[in-house]
A and B are shown apart, each in its own frame.
Chain A
Amino acid sequence: MAGIFTTFNTARRGLYAQQAAVDTASHNVANASTAGYSRQRVQMSATSPYNSPGVGQIGTGVEVSLITRIRDSYLDLQIRGEKGILGEYGARQEVLEQVEMIFMEPSDTGLSATMAEMWNAWQELSKSPENSNARTIVVQSAQTFADQLNHMDEQLTTLKEDAIHLVEKKVYDSQSIFSQVNSLNDQISRIVAKGDKPNDLLDQRDLLLDQLSSITDFTTEEGTDGRITIKIDGKEMTGSNVQYQMSIVRDVETIGDDVKITLVRGGDTLEGVQTFTISKDEYEANYKDLKAGEVIFNKTDMAKSDPLKTDLQLLNDGAVETFSPNHGELMGYYSIQKEVDSYKGQLDNLAEAIAGTVNMIHQAGDDTQMAFFLGDSDGITAKNIKVNSEIVDDVYKINAGEKSDSPTGDGSRALAIAQLRNGRFTIHNFDKGNLNYDAATMKIDNQTGGTTFDSYYKDIVAKLGISSQQAGRMVDNQESLLGQLQQRRESISGVSIDEEIANLVQYQHAYEANSKVIATLTDMLDTLINRMGV
């Protein structure tokens, strides 16, 4: 027969267990608003009973066997997947909205309106070529058009650079997440080795993985010691065997016969910037995938500088290779840069085509005559198109008439230029060598499969609109979907204050009951010790 002191133990165990339960409830309530927190539950189990011969098994009380966190890890996987897609389209939407603001259509101030005013100015010139006013207006409207193209190109370039800076920051964030996960892994493995569950640390690690999933897609492997290894593109980014780091190509510049590549290692814009200068041939042979904005992997031990090695050898040592994420913000910003490049290219085509056709008529098909639009030595693009400064200085140098010695009232060449508005040319792969100029009519033949300048520009805007609309719709859909998944997670892992308070009341009663037991035992002992006998 067990003594009263054994019963004391039972009651004492009860008190401790309830106290632990109250502690856990208090912990839950305190963390009700903590991001990523999963509610914890105390698992109590009865302690091994005492075998009393003849009587049977007598219970010995309760112990807290485990404090678990309530979390559905499959749901975590789903949420991470959807966050990746949201990250991707969110990034695209962000940049595309800015591209739309650059184009500013439909409006009275967009490129479409500026082009229209330019053609109108040529019409007015054809009607009064004797009038210097009409000539000045042609120059001014053409300059406005060229300036607007220059400006739009510049803004698109800046937007691309901003996107690259954002990617640098995201890469840096990822690297920081890897190192945080590493230190959490260490702490977790120590506790798991003791056989306990480090719930709060696990929550923190899961939160970091959620954040990472917005940035890029990855896989995880769980070790028996509770460590998690994050793998991106098959390469380990955490753990003791990390050989690679994520970096980004900030810029690739051609200087003469050399190519200068600027890397930002680990996304660290302060300390991680490293440049390599290699020859064009070497670049074309092995590294032509490296373009501005590419995310790459390189060996962490790639030397920053080595007096005995050339830049090419350093690059080769670094085992630099490109990385294409499937989802996440990295993918979003990467794909959007390609798209911005395509818009820039199309504006370039437009500039080249308008300049080429106007010049051809202005020069009567002879390259040595005065051109109306100029670019630079590589040709005419949206970035460099401008009105010939000789014409800006002297508006009478505009060839409005058929010949240079035509009477002052001859505006026929200006009329031919104005009529380019309705001409159809293959702008998407414009080559002024393919144009057919008829000296008698001063006109350029329409090209089969060609479109008007207005149509071409409208197509650019239409594509932009559709792309942006799609990104916006995907973001809305994903936010909805993610909202539902997060609601499910909240329903499983979230802290319900009402529930915790109710539990608190329950544990409090149990604690009171246990302490009542102790009080009763005290009385019994008192009777035993003090009242029995003399």
Chain B
Amino acid sequence: MRVTNKSLIDNFTRNVNRNLKNMSKYQEQLSSGKEVRRPSDDPFKATRAMALHTSIGQNEQYKRNIEDSIGWTDITDAALGNINDDLQRIRELVVKGSNGTLADTDRNAIKVEIDQLVGDIAQIGNANYDGRYIFGGQNTTVPPFEIDGTGALKYKGDQGSLNREISPNVTMKINVHGSNIMGNSNELAKTLQDITNALASGDTDSLSKDLLGKVDGHIDNILRLRAEVGAKSNRLEAAKGKNEAETLNMTELLSKTEDIDFAQKIMEYSNMENVYQASLSTGAKVIQPSLLDFLR
């Protein structure tokens, strides 16, 4: 085949161009650290990377939801613990007050302490997490418990649920509302009211039998609520563990899909650089001489 000067130059240009293009591709990959810069570089890898990014992002949101819920249930548990302590103290005082040998002044002292404890229970009931009242149901901006004019404990919140999504399409109710604490038809308020009345009137009989039993009932109720909250807390911790493991797996997978293997890339790049330099030097030797150099 006849070879002209022009075809030598054309070949030289074409080869050098191709090598430069390859080198440029490696350079892009090395400086961005990513295999795929545009969908056309590798459509399947690109969409896989997109899907993983989306899943990881979604998982991060669920993790935030879970951690938020864990904070909420921790505070709920602590508050219920404090209420339990107060109810235990009230029980002791009821036992003490049911002693028939007590003087009126002594019984009055007990009544005063119990009144204080009722106030304390109301205050604990108004615990808040991040500016919201945790026992108010969906009514989170208004303090749910108060002591009304007659000295009775009153619950003003509602019975709504607060739900959080902890994983795709899995929601969990995280709150305990005040009605749960009060028992059926506000029994707790009535029991406490009855106790102070009995102490005031010296009714040791009902104190020792009826009311003591009711206080025990309320203590059991609080313990039961605490157990439920504990179970929720366990479930949330488990969900968090699972969430973190999933995120770790997906991140690893994403890295395998998206990121370059630096050592290998640099090797490939040096190789291409050598090829480029070789093409330049041989090309230079071939395109220069012509017959005119040799005709005197």
Contacts and interface: CB of A to CB of B under 8 A. Distances in A.
Interface of A: 32-33, 96-97, 100-101, 103, 105-106, 112-113, 116, 119-120, 123-124, 126-128, 130-131, 401, 406-412, 415, 418-419, 421-422, 454, 458, 461-462, 464-466, 468-469, 472, 483, 486-488, 490-492, 494-499, 501-502, 505
Contacts of B11: 487
A493 to B, nearest CB: 9
B61 interface: yes
A396 B4 CA distance: 79
Given A105-B39, A465-B46, A33 B51 contact: no
Nearest to A93: B40
B197 interface: no
A129 B106 CA distance: 50
Given A32-B5, A472-B40, A127 B50 contact: no
Contacts of B50: 105-106, 112, 458, 461
Contact of A106 (B53, B136, B141, B168): B53
Contacts of A112: 50, 53-54
Contacts of B7: 487, 490-491, 494
B274 interface: no
Given A112-B54, A128-B132, A454-B51, A100 B39 contact: yes
Contacts of A116: 54, 57-58
B138 A407 contact: yes
Given A491-B4, A501-B291, A409 B136 contact: yes
A469 B45 CA distance: 13
A496 B2 contact: yes
A169 B234 CA distance: 70
A123 B65 CA distance: 8
A406 B138 contact: yes
A106 B46 contact: yes
Given A464-B39, A486-B10, A496-B2, A421 B58 contact: yes
Given A408-B140, A461-B39, A494 B160 contact: no
A96 B41 CA distance: 13
B175 to A, nearest CB: 9
A497 B138 contact: no
B271 interface: no
Interface in B162-185: 162-165, 168-169, 171
Interface of A is mostly: helix
Nearest to A488: B1
Contacts of B295: 501, 505
Given A116-B57, A120-B57, A401-B138, A32 B6 contact: yes
Interface string B253-296: 00000100000000000000000000000000000001110010
Contacts of A415: 163-165, 171
A422 B170 CA distance: 11
A333 B163 CA distance: 54
A258 to B, nearest CB: 41
A103 B165 contact: no
User: Which A-B residue pairs are the 8 nearest by beta carbons?
Assistant: A465-B39, A409-B140, A465-B43, A468-B40, A494-B4, A496-B4, A407-B138, A407-B139
A31 to B, nearest CB: 11
Contact of A497 (B5, B43, B136): B5
A491 B1 contact: yes
Interface string B27-55: 00000000010111111101101110110
Interface size bracket, B side:
35 or more
Contacts of A487: 7, 10-11
B160 A407 contact: yes
Given A32-B5, A491-B4, A492-B2, A465 B40 contact: yes
B2 A491 contact: yes
B36 A106 contact: yes
Nearest to A464: B39
A219 to B, nearest CB: 29
Contact of A498 (B42, B58, B165, B290): B290
A478 to B, nearest CB: 13
B148 interface: no
B54 A454 contact: yes
B47 A465 contact: yes
A464 B132 CA distance: 48
B39 A103 contact: yes
A120 B160 contact: no
Contact of B6 (A33, A113, A120, A131): A33
Contacts of B210: none
B62 to A, nearest CB: 8
A126 B40 CA distance: 39
Contacts of A128: 130, 132
A496 B3 contact: yes
Contacts of A419: 165, 169
Contacts of B68: 127
A490 B39 contact: no
Nearest to A110: B50
Contacts of A105: 39, 46, 50
A101 B64 CA distance: 33
B143 interface: no
A458 B48 CA distance: 9
B52 to A, nearest CB: 9
Contact of B40 (A96, A120, A407, A488): A96
